[in-house]
Structure 1
Amino acid sequence: MFIAMNRFKVRPDSEDMFLARWLDREVSLCGVPGFVAIRFMKGDVYETYILYASETTWVSREAFDDWKQSDVFRTAHRTAGQGEMLTIERRESNGFEVLKTVSALS
């Protein structure tokens, strides 16, 4: 399993616009081979920014890499960077191979 994470430091005066971009847009990942899930999360609130993160889960790193080379990816990201800058710096992106998962007891 592979997880791709993005972290965003959102300017407080831009939070509503940032949320609209993330929560109101169509998610085109559902039919992509190897896609498992996406999560969008709000983190700590600081004086100068609000921390947000997105997490996509994939069956493998290869499935994630294939998606990044696909027309689905190009279409979903065709307007990226064209709107008003809502963060205090560029997003931080990282990928992680899942080494171990511990689940709650049923």
Structure 2
Amino acid sequence: MFVAMNRFRVKVGDEAAFEEIWRSRDSKLLDFDGFVHFDLLKGSESDGYVLYASHAIWRNEESFVAWTKSRQFKESHSRAKPTVGYAGPPQFEGFDAVEGLSISA
């Protein structure tokens, strides 16, 4: 399993606009082989910004890399409009899973 995260520092007051961009996007993730799960996480406020993280789980790093080079990725990201104030660029972090636990239903 591979976890791909982007951290966003959104200026205070722009939280609703930022969240709406994510809610209304034309995501192609569900159609891409190797994709498992996505969450947009909202953190705390600090120094005039609110921390958010996009958290995507992939079968493996190769699937994620293939996504970033795909037509679907380019289409999904070409429509992004920078209408939100950011306190700096997004920061990518990628992780290979070492251990995991889950509750089965």
TM-score, normalized by the shorter chain, greater than 0.5: yes
What's the C-alpha RMSD, in Å, of the aligned pairs?
1.7
CA apart distance, 1:86: 2.0
Assess if the C-alpha contact under 8 Å between 1:7 and 1:92 holds in 2: yes
Instruction: Give the Cα–Cα distance (whole angstroms) in 2 for the partners of residues 67 and 59 of structure 1.
Output: 12
Local SS of the residue matching 1:25:
coil
Structure 2 residues without counterparts, runs of 5 or longer: none
State TM-score, norm by structure 2.
0.90
Assess if the C-alpha contact under 8 Å between 1:10 and 1:87 holds in 2: yes
| 1:12 partnered with 2:12 | yes
CA apart distance, 1:47: 4.3
Assess if the C-alpha contact under 8 Å between 2:17 and 2:84 holds in 1: no
CA spacing shift, 1:105–1:57, aligned 2, 3 Å: closer
Instruction: Give the Cα–Cα distance (whole angstroms) in 1 for the partners of residues 51 and 86 of structure 2.
Output: 10
Q: Identity over aligned residues, as a percent? A: 32
Structure 1 residue runs of 4+, over 4 Å off?
none
5 Å-filtered alignment, 1:1-106, equals 1-80=1-80, 82-104=81-103
State TM-score, norm by structure 1.
0.89
Instruction: Give the Cα–Cα distance (whole angstroms) in 2 for the partners of residues 3 and 9 of structure 1.
Output: 19
Local SS of the residue matching 2:21:
helix
CA apart distance, 1:53: 0.6
